[in-house]
Amino acid sequence: MTTAAVKITQKGKVTIPKEIREKLKASVVYFEVKGDIVMVKPVRDAAGSLREFAGNVKPGASLRQVKDKAWKVAVREKTGKKPA
C-alpha cells in the first residue's frame, strides 16, 4: 500500500504524488467518499465513457456538449446526485 500526505490548496486542489499517479495509470480519476474516508479511483477510459453516452445527446451536438452530458450522467450514476 502506498500512502502520502499532501496539502489541499485554498482552491481545493491537491497534487497526486508521482509514484501514486504512475500506479493509477490514468489521467482522469473520480473521488468516492465513505464517511471520513476519501478514495481516488482511476477512470480507465474516459473516451469510452463519452462514446457510451453519446447517444443521449441531439444529433449535431458539439464535442463539448457530448462531454458535458457524459460527465453529468456518469456523476449521477456514481453518486446518485446531480453534479454541481
Grid coordinates standing for 69? 452530458
* Same domain for 40 and 61: no
| SS3 label, residue 33 | strand
Kindly report which listed range (1-5, 38-42, 44-48, 62-66) carries the lowest average pLDDT score.
44-48
Q: What is the pLDDT of residue 45?
A: 61
Closest by CA position to 5, among listed 22, 26, 20: 20
* Same domain for 40 and 57: no
CATH code, 30: 2.10.260
- For cell 489521467, the residue is 27
Secondary-structure breakdown of the chain: helix, strand, coil percentages, each rounded to the nearest 5: 40, 15, 45
Q: What is the pLDDT of residue 61?
A: 73
* Same domain for 73 and 38: no
% the chain with pLDDT above 70: 77
Kindly report which listed range (5-14, 20-29, 75-84) carries the lowest average pLDDT score.
75-84
* Same domain for 36 and 4: yes
What residue numbers bound the domain in which 83 lies? 45-84
How many separate domains does the chain show?
Answer: 2
Region 38-49: mean pLDDT is: 73
Of 56 and 71, more confident = 71
